[in-house]
Chains A and B, each alone.
Chain A
């Protein structure tokens, strides 16, 4: 298989997870798919900048993330959203058995700030290591760990999940080696 063909094959393999990441950032499927499409166009236009053998997933996710934030700065729609339209729509309450309705979860997740959504999505849904998430977000591993912790705490608050005894979720509860949310 030629290098371009190998690149294409790996890219196709990564598209579903790239799409899932886009879906976690955008608030609807169409916007998410447009994000992926724009990412593909950018990736193909800059394919000569990609070093074969390096992390294609991180490269693609970074392109998508940067494009998303670029659009966000232009539109500011997301900021208005975060300021309350979603929050005003529902009040999420956990089920009595401690489980959470998936739709309620999605609504609560959508209320998170974009940087919180992205780290939870990368580490929790996409299975990125903290190191990989740090590479994608362009920040230190420690920043990712604390951001994940804050995001998880915020999401727990939005879902109405209370810690027993009012204890905060401790930083130490974030695994140091294995990334999980």
Chain B
């Protein structure tokens, strides 16, 4: 096989989708996906329950002020 052919074989080769280890491919990938998703929600989900700083609500009060001025 030519050198280019060797490289094509190496670069283009994909992991086998069946056989070999006897375990279904993508099984652990799916597990990792679920694990990552779960941990993302655990890591950032509680942030959404934190009390909002007053300074943000005061900023949004500007909307009321602008509306009063216009009316």
Most buried by A among B40, B63, B66: B40
User: CB < 8 Å: which of A23, A24, A164 contacts B23?
Assistant: A164
A42 to chain B, nearest CB (A): 11
B45 contacts A125, CB within 8 Å?
yes
Instruction: List chain A positions with a Cβ less than 8 A from chain B.
Output: 2, 4-5, 7-8, 11-12, 15-17, 19-20, 23-24, 33, 36-37, 40-41, 44, 47, 98-100, 102, 105-106, 109, 120-121, 124-126, 152, 155-156, 161-170, 172-173, 180-181
Closest to B30 in A: A173
- B42 contacts the other chain (Cβ, under 8 Å)? yes
Q: List 6 A-B contacts (CB under 8 A).
A: A16-B50, A19-B47, A44-B62, A152-B32, A156-B32, A167-B25
User: CB < 8 Å: which of A37, A102, A169 contacts B56?
Assistant: A37
Given the complex of chains A and B, what is the CA–CA distance between A12 and B58 in angstroms?
12
Q: Which B residues, 5 to 47, have Cβ-Cβ distances below 8 Å to chain A?
A: 15-16, 20-21, 23, 25-33, 35-37, 39-45, 47
Given the complex of chains A and B, what is the CA–CA distance between A76 and B27 in angstroms?
39
A12 contacts B60, CB within 8 Å?
yes
Given the complex of chains A and B, what is the CA–CA distance between A8 and B58 in angstroms?
12
A73 to chain B, nearest CB (A): 24
Closest to A165 in B: B21
B28 contacts A124, CB within 8 Å?
no
Residues of B within 8 A of A121 (CB): 40, 44
Residues of B within 8 A of A126 (CB): 44
Residues of B within 8 A of A155 (CB): 36
Given the complex of chains A and B, what is the CA–CA distance between A166 and B25 in angstroms?
10
Residues of A within 8 A of B60 (CB): 8, 11-12, 40, 44
Residues of B within 8 A of A166 (CB): 15
Residues of B within 8 A of A12 (CB): 52, 57, 60
A37 contacts B48, CB within 8 Å?
no
Residues of A within 8 A of B31 (CB): 98
A163 contacts B52, CB within 8 Å?
no
A37 contacts B40, CB within 8 Å?
no
B57 to chain A, nearest CB (A): 8
Closest to B66 in A: A4
A16 contacts B52, CB within 8 Å?
yes
Known pairs A4-B63, A165-B15 / 15 extra A-B pairs, C-beta < 8 Å? A8-B63, A12-B57, A15-B56, A16-B48, A16-B52, A19-B48, A23-B47, A24-B43, A44-B63, A120-B36, A125-B41, A156-B36, A162-B28, A164-B21, A169-B33
